[in-house]
Amino acid sequence: MNRFWRVPVGNWRQNLQRSPLTEVEDSISLRVLVLALVILGIGATDIAAETSFSFWALPLSVLGAIWSYYRRRDANVAVQFCIAIGMLIALGAFFGRLVGELNDTRLGLAELLIQLQVLHSFDTPRRKNLGYSIVIGLILLGVAATLSQTLAFAPVLLLFLAIALPTLVLDYRSRLGLQPLKTQKEKFNPKNSSTLNFKFLTLTFLLIVSLGLAIFAVLPRFPGYQLRNFPVSSSIQLKGNFTGRSIINPGYVRQGSGNNQGSGTGQGQSGQPGKVDNNFYYGFNSQINQNLRGEMKPKVVMRVRSQAEGFWRVLGFDRYTGKGWEVSRNEEVTTIKRSPWSYQIYLNPPLTTAKTQEIVQTYTVVADLPNLIPAMAYPKEIYFPTPMVAVDTENGLRSPVELSEGLTYTVISEVPYRDRTSLGQASTNYPRQIKNHYLQIPPEIAEKVRQRTEEILANYNRERISRSFKSLDSPYEKTLYLAQYLKQRYSIPQNALDLPYLGEKDDLVEAFLFKYKGGYPDHFSTVLTVMLRSIGIPARLVAGFSSGEFNPFTGLYVVRNTDAYAITEVYFPKYGWFAFDPIPNHPLIPPSVEDTQTFSVLRQLWHWVAGWLPSPVTGLLNNVFETIFRWVIRAIAWFLALFSQGWFGILTGLILTTTAAFFGWLGWGQWREWRNRRWLKKLPAMESLYQQMLQWTTQKGLGKHPAQTPLEYARGSYQHHPPATAEVIDEISQAYISWRYGGHTPNLKRLRQRWQGIKKAGKADK
């Protein structure tokens, strides 16, 4: 019985090892590289998501890889059974977590893959099993890329690529059944190594990185093709009743409250002198005091991923108090609840007849902020972790809790396009509700500000401040001109203490226009808003964040607390509210959606690079690029216009196209010839002469086949060339072989003379 049993078992094991389907992988280098890719994938996930999978996953992966190598020739049935049970448990845990994270499953998927990889690492006998590990490492890197918000991910990506290249080479050699040289008699030559050519791998790595950066910079971005995902933090449970009327800003000291204390002294009572808080922007409160002095210490407060650059709007104000602003209808706040099974909350954006574009923005809070929710104008949906949010009368969003570090939410806005022609033709028949709240001015300064505003507009044609010769016959053109006038005629003090505090009877707008001829950045927006109101144009002050510093490698806008400021919004009947920025050194029109954003990332990349250059260099390059771009656009527009001018225009366009193609072909030929001459000059003299001979024979239609040796080609030339020509080809080939492989010095003078004679004879035959 024992003899009968032992034979089949031995044969079965022998067949198992010889079967191509179960052939084990013996390459230690391949296994080490695959393990390195997996470790990098896990580490990248930890870096991007700020998790701690590495503490348990990395040691177990290394232990599993060692175990699997030493047990690679065993059946390991018991181990495989335990692995299967572990994978089912991991899958069950994943589905349990999926129920609570329906909006963003990336981190849950990453954790599942890490668990599966750790289990899988204990049974990787074959190259096919290692291939699964490579794919899992690549998927983890992709998940980390979608979660990453800083450049800390970039070194990991480059290291992954550097390890992946030799891994793929060894994997391909394993597929072909090739083995590295092991005999000591054979000398190792890095250039001709049968295992890894490190010079080739290095050049390939640099080429891939360069091409990737170039493609990333110039690849057109079409918002409609962007991935639509709506990341949001885990649900936050509320305690107590939320009305939305209270604004929690730690930068303001709130009397009668033991919490939310800050160093600011504004206290919401406009007019009292004080200092701004070092960390929190004073403008995020139901009442703001612009009689504060000081500066904030820069710190990153949030990162934004958006389909378009924009002004992250926070809060609007409708009532001017003389030294600040307040929300007069702070009690009229609407709360909106979401369904218990979704994070989506539908909002009611203001109506507009303008063309709009849907913009998706995802905000990640890096430092604590007030319970005001930044968003692009005209939000229509928000994915937020609380059961409800509030919307005030100025279309600002409020949260039941402060925006704490790590909180993530997504907003979808229906942003209108800014059409200057349409807005210039907008009606001035304003609704009563608009006139009641957005034309208010303290009566003490109303007449004086109106006279100054009308005087500025009346002097438009004489002063020629604006380069535009449009007439100021519409609220839109008047607003543009007044904003530009404030930018050019008034200034910001160099020192925070240069502007004295306003007295009890002083008015900020009056002091700005007639006494100090300037003020702090937010004062410009206040003055523009009041000036517009004085001539009957409804306007309000809006506080928020600029788009921030765009990082072209992460695709995120990095927003700091110092990016917060106030701008002016003007109402146009049927079109809604549009923003203007009168602050010096700011764009007159805040960033928003544009008709053409195809190469917006390239423009943002240039802005990022320009930030590292000296101002004179940046200005010079901007002027050069602007001039070139303007002429190119004009040339393209003129050319395309030809085809709309009838048959004569079409014929002219075709003639120009053919002519351009002909000169392009000539230029291409000259460029190739120049490159060839340059290449020949860099070669050794004998090599250059030999290559010239091969090129000449190729032009004759009798070139050298790549499989032929120089001597084989020389012998064959007697059958296709005249004897005199064949002798010269043979002599040059012999000299080349002697020089290249024998180290003999050729008689270059004689060879060149004979070669020139053959070329002259060939020209004479023509």
Give the angle subtended at the CA of 584 by the CAs of 555 and 514, to the nearest 5°: 155
Residue 275 within any structural domain of the chain: no
Q: What per-residue confidence (pLDDT) applies to 175?
A: 76
Residues 602 and 631 in one domain: no
Give how many domains the chain has, as a whole number: 4
Position 67 pLDDT exceeds 50 = yes
- Is the residue at 226 inside a domain? no
Above 90 in pLDDT, residue 141? no
Q: Residue 483: which pLDDT band, with cuts at 50, 70 and 90?
A: very high
CA pair distance 572, 425, nearest whole angstrom? 10
State phi, psi for 233 to the nearest 5 degrees: -70, 170
Per-residue confidence band for 14, with pLDDT thresholds at 50, 70 and 90: very low
End-to-end Cα distance, the chain: 93
Task: Say which range, 137-141, 274-278, 438-442, 461-465, has the weakest mean pLDDT.
Answer: 461-465
Cα 672 to Cα 665, 668, 687, 695, distances in angstroms: 11, 6, 20, 13
Question: What integer pLDDT is reported at residue 269 of this predicted model?
Answer: 55
Tell me the chain's radius of gyration from C-alpha atoms. 37
Q: Of 565, 597, 612, which marks where a domain is finished?
A: 612
User: Do 635 and 548 have their domain in common?
Assistant: no
Residue 575 contacts by C-beta under 8 Å, 6 or more apart in sequence? 352, 353, 354, 416, 422, 423, 426
Answer yes or no: are the C-beta atoms of 365 and 301 closer than 8 Å.
yes
Per-residue pLDDT at 47 exceeds 70: yes
Between 716 and 391, residue with greater pLDDT? 391
For the cut 90, the answer to whether the pLDDT of residue 740 exceeds it is no
Residue 317 has pLDDT above 90, yes or no: yes
Encode burial over 594-633: b for 16+ CB neighbours within 10 A, e otherwise.
eeebeebbeebbbeeeeeeeeeeebeeeeeeeeeeeeeee
pLDDT of 279 over the 60 cut: yes
Q: What is the pLDDT of residue 696?
A: 86
Per-residue pLDDT tens over the stretch 149-164: 777 778 888 899 999 9
> Domain holding 383: CATH number?
3.10.620.30
Q: Residue 246's pLDDT is what?
A: 87
What's the whole-number mean pLDDT along residues 536-543? 96
Asked if residue 447 has pLDDT above 60, the reply is yes
Q: What is the pLDDT of residues 449-475, one digit of tens each?
A: 999 999 998 887 555 544 445 678 899
Q: Are 583 and 527 in contact (CB under 8 A)?
A: no
DSSP bridge partners of 331: none
Pick from 61-75, 309-323, 385-399, 443-457: least confident? 61-75
Are 201 and 320 members of one domain?
no
Over 50: is that where the pLDDT of 143 sits? Answer: yes
**Residue 332 DSSP class:** -
Strands 274-275 and 292-293: parallel
Same-domain check for residues 625 and 570:
no
Chain centroid to Cα 490, Å, comes to: 36
Q: 460 lies in a domain?
A: yes
H or E, element range at 570: strand 564-572
| pLDDT reported for residue 415 | 92
**Structural domain ending residue among the three candidates 593, 612, 631:** 612
Residue 54 pLDDT > 80: yes
Q: Is the pLDDT of residue 1 over 70?
A: no
Q: Indicate whether 289 belongs to any domain.
A: no
**Which uninterrupted H or E stretch holds 154?**
helix 153-176
Q: What is the pLDDT of residue 260?
A: 39
Domain assignment of residue 262, yes or no: no
Instruction: Please indicate, yes or no, whether residues 448 and 548 belong to a single structural domain of this protein.
Output: yes
pLDDT in the model for residue 39: 92
Please name the residues in contact with 493: beta carbons below 8 A apart, sequence gap of 6 or more.
499, 518, 519, 520
In this structure, the answer to whether residues 213 and 324 fall within a common structural domain is: no
Contact 507, 564 (CB under 8 A): no
Element (H, E) at 203: helix 198-218
Kindly report each contact of residues 697-700 with a partner whose C-beta sits within 8 Å and lies 24 or more positions away, as own/partner.
697/721, 697/729, 700/762
Q: What is the pLDDT of residues 331-375, one digit of tens each?
A: 889 999 988 877 889 998 778 888 888 899 999 999 999 999 999
Measure the CA–CA gap between 556 and 11, rounded to whole angstroms. 62
Residues 566 and 622 in one domain: no
Residue 104 within any structural domain of the chain: yes
Whether residue 573 sits in one domain with residue 448:
yes
Quote the mean pLDDT of the chain: 81
Highest mean pLDDT among 99-108, 177-186, 503-512: 503-512
Residue (of 487, 481, 477) closest to 519 by Cα position: 487
Does position 608 have pLDDT exceeding 70, yes or no?
Answer: no
pLDDT band with cut points at 50, 70 and 90 for residue 225: very low
Statement: residue 492 has pLDDT above 80: yes
The proportion of the chain whose per-residue pLDDT surpasses 90, expressed as a percent, equals 28
CA contacts within 13 A on the Cβ side of 115 = 17
Residue 512 domain boundaries: 298-612
Find the angle CA(126)-CA(127)-CA(132) to the nearest 5 degrees. 100
pLDDT for 178:
67
Q: Phi/psi zone of residue 395: left (φ > 0), alpha (ψ -120 to 50 degrees), beta?
A: left
Alpha-carbon distance of 185 to 571, in angstroms, equals 87
Residues in the chain: 766
**Rounded-to-integer distance, Cα 584 and Cα 570, Å:** 19
The four Cα atoms 669, 674, 678, 681 give a dihedral, to 10 degrees, of 100
627 shares its domain with 577: no
pLDDT at residue 661 is higher than 50? yes
Which letter does DSSP use for residue 721 in this model? S
pLDDT tens digits, 417-434: 998 888 988 999 999 999
To the nearest 10 degrees (0 to 180), the angle between helices 28-49 and 106-120 is 150
> How far apart are alpha carbons 578 and 326 in whole angstroms?
20
Tokens of 535: 């001539």
What is the per-residue pLDDT for 255?
42
Query: What residue type is 279 in one-letter code?
Result: N
Q: Ranked by mean pLDDT, which of 5-14, 94-103, 608-617 comes out on top?
A: 94-103
Residue pair 390/244 in contact (Cβ under 8 Å)? The answer is yes
Most confident of 10-24, 234-248, 666-680, 697-711: 666-680
The answer as to whether 229 is a domain residue is: no
Q: How far apart are CA 536 and CA 435, in angstroms?
A: 9
pLDDT at 252: 65
Residues 210 and 347 in one domain: no
List 571's β-bridge partners, or say none: 577
Within a domain: 398:
yes
- DSSP for 403-441 reads B-TT-EEEEEEEEEP--HHHHHT------HHHHHHHS--
Taking the C-alpha atoms of residue 143 and residue 107, their distance in angstroms, rounded to an integer, is: 8
b/e map of 265-284 (b: 16 or more CB within 10 Å)? Answer: bbebebbbbbebbebbbbbb
Same structural domain, 634 and 580: no
What pLDDT is recorded for position 766? 53
Mean pLDDT on 365-387:
93
- My answer on whether 634 and 718 are in the same domain is no
Decide: 323 and 502 in contact? Cβ < 8 Å: yes
